[in-house]
Structure 1
């Protein structure tokens, strides 16, 4: 029982990271209604940039570890901010009125570009951060023996806080009402004085910020985010949000959290080599079942 509870707690940490990615994905897709494969690459690029900048500050600029971590955080924020603005203006804006597949192809190319950029910048090497806030915090008493590290708890709290803040903005502020208006009827919202293009740009920047935060938290915890993980994470989030629906970011976050917990349980009881295959098979099954139910309801 203690082993199962430990896996479940570890799964909650995975769930926090996946939830951030799914929440960010729906912020974009809810407005563009286009398939986007770049968010997984943004996740990996953010973590990799943070690690490389931290390593540069530590080994080249002779910074202390806290200063190097702060420097890496600043560089990652600058890169993601500039990159997100360029992507919104020069990829999404020109392709928004075109065929749906153009954004898919463009973001796939962007993912490959970011992966190769990270690989070349790292000279095809893996850089690792030292363990941070790795002391275990005993939960449910020392007799049971289950624990989370301090950093896991911090990551979970940050992810929960960001999603909660996002929901407050979506449900309680004019920004959320504008997002829903543009998502439902962009032409009608434009007649009411709303600029759909500006709203989409702001949503893309917010979504990239959320996904970059997930990559940053993953880099802090795992110590490394490989440059070739972007495609896998992007596909997982695409399948998760397709199965959970694109209309509500919170629903997608809940679905992603469930997948994160399932991944942790699978890794504890079955072969890790088959984990991704099992997760994708489950998501395909859920997606097919959900599609059949929707078609039956229409009939």
Structure 2
């Protein structure tokens, strides 16, 4: 629902608007200066853009006699007339294809002929290009700068980094809750969640491309369909790992070393399966949303919130809040907490450990599917090893916040995302990962239980999953 609502908010980018601004001096006199009166924010139909403009008189035309006896007889200069210039554009077949200028209507010269339009496209738009913007008064303005409050440059830059960090941290937080959901139940870390995210993201890309080839580039349907496909694949694959690996190991009371080795085996199996059976190449999904919301600006630097930033942050808040409610208020949540606290006592009270474990793996796979869908739709490039480093960073977020604690994992994801964004913004991206893992080391040295202070007594490579009933 959130994806469908955001898809209805999409606005056109500045491509058509810029092409129309460049075409205007090619129709008018290139030695003339123009004052553009139409702002980009005023454009409602990207396929039909109408520019209102004035022709600015030259100095000779605006010069007036010096003060003398006759100057009192000069009447004030009349306001400049307003002209219109309308550009008609074709509808692009895919989001990446630029629209073509197919017609021009002017208030001064009438409709531009097809031959004139062909010459304009070939010899003006393609050759002169953005140099034609020099014909405008205040060519850098032109209404492209949004009408938002202006602030200091440092504050604007920091706010943009914070928005980027929150968007990425929301994705980390969703996956970190998957690690926490399983660790809190069985006391083990499933390292295969990163690969489940990769598989879900890959399914989102493939399903999105299939939808686009059948129904066209309907953004709402593609986003919703890709998300549903990713959650289905993520939930199913996560349940499959429990049924074939973690469930049998739990029934045999396997030690922590066996579970870690088995989860690494799942990682390698999923990676190699995707590489050999599907493909080792990159799968690319064209960017679907081009709209952004301006927040603040500092001179020409504008702070924007992208459509997928809203999607990732919104889904993290909605799903995180929903998961907190499920774990606190529902029967499943109470049984999950009972098993997490005391397996034997929970079994004596009639709680089925296998059923709760199965449902927990499905729920964790659902979170992986949502994460994979946002990754695919946000970044658009997925390959068979995309989930490895991403999964480790989400695991860092879970440990940083306090492994086994839902709110801690959620908080840790946002901290990792913000750390990456600010480090990359101020120090460059070369040592970004070093800074993230260094932050984890520093926090664990100062607070071994994580920020939420959760104990890790049951996380031992040498302990067995005792009390399995």
Pairing of 1:1-299 with structure 2 (within 5 A): 1-58=155-212, 62-66=214-218, 72-96=226-250, 97-140=253-296, 145-291=302-448
Larger Rg: 2
Deviations 1:193-223 (A, max 9, x none): 0001111110111011112201111111111
Equivalents in 1 of 2:449, 2:223: separation in Å? 49
Query: Does the residue aligned with 2:293 lie in a helix, a strand or coil?
Result: strand
**How far apart are residue 56 of structure 1 and its match?**
4.5
Structure-2 change in CA distance of 1:292 and 1:249 (3 Å): closer
Equivalents in 1 of 2:297, 2:334: separation in Å? 45
**How far apart are residue 15 of structure 1 and its match?**
1.2
User: How many residues are treated as equivalent by the alignment?
Assistant: 293
Equivalents in 2 of 1:240, 1:70: separation in Å? 27
**How far apart are residue 285 of structure 1 and its match?**
2.0
Deviations 1:86-107 (A, max 9, x none): 2111111111220112121111
Equivalents in 1 of 2:234, 2:448: separation in Å? 35
RMSD: 2.4
**How far apart are residue 175 of structure 1 and its match?**
1.9
**How far apart are residue 50 of structure 1 and its match?**
1.4
Structure-2 change in CA distance of 1:126 and 1:249 (3 Å): same
The answer to which structure, 1 or 2, has the higher relative contact order (CA under 8 A, 6+ apart) is 1
Equivalents in 2 of 1:241, 1:155: separation in Å? 18
Equivalents in 1 of 2:227, 2:408: separation in Å? 30
Deviations 1:217-236 (A, max 9, x none): 11111112332122212222
Deviations 1:166-198 (A, max 9, x none): 011112222221111110101110000000111
Structure-2 change in CA distance of 1:226 and 1:27 (3 Å): same
- Whether contact under 8 Å (1:84, 1:208) holds in the other structure is yes
- In structure 2, list runs of 5 or more residues that go unmatched: 1-154, 458-469
Equivalents in 2 of 1:157, 1:233: separation in Å? 20
Query: Does the residue aligned with 2:351 lie in a helix, a strand or coil?
Result: coil
Equivalents in 2 of 1:269, 1:118: separation in Å? 37
TM-score, normalising length: structure 2: 0.58
Equivalents in 2 of 1:234, 1:93: separation in Å? 22
**How far apart are residue 115 of structure 1 and its match?**
1.9
Query: Does the residue aligned with 2:448 lie in a helix, a strand or coil?
Result: helix
Equivalents in 1 of 2:224, 2:205: separation in Å? 11
Give the structure with the larger strand fraction.
2
- Whether contact under 8 Å (1:18, 1:257) holds in the other structure is yes
Give the structure with the larger helix fraction.
1
- Whether contact under 8 Å (1:52, 1:122) holds in the other structure is no
TM-score, normalising length: structure 1: 0.89
Deviates more, 1:13-22 or 1:132-141: 132-141
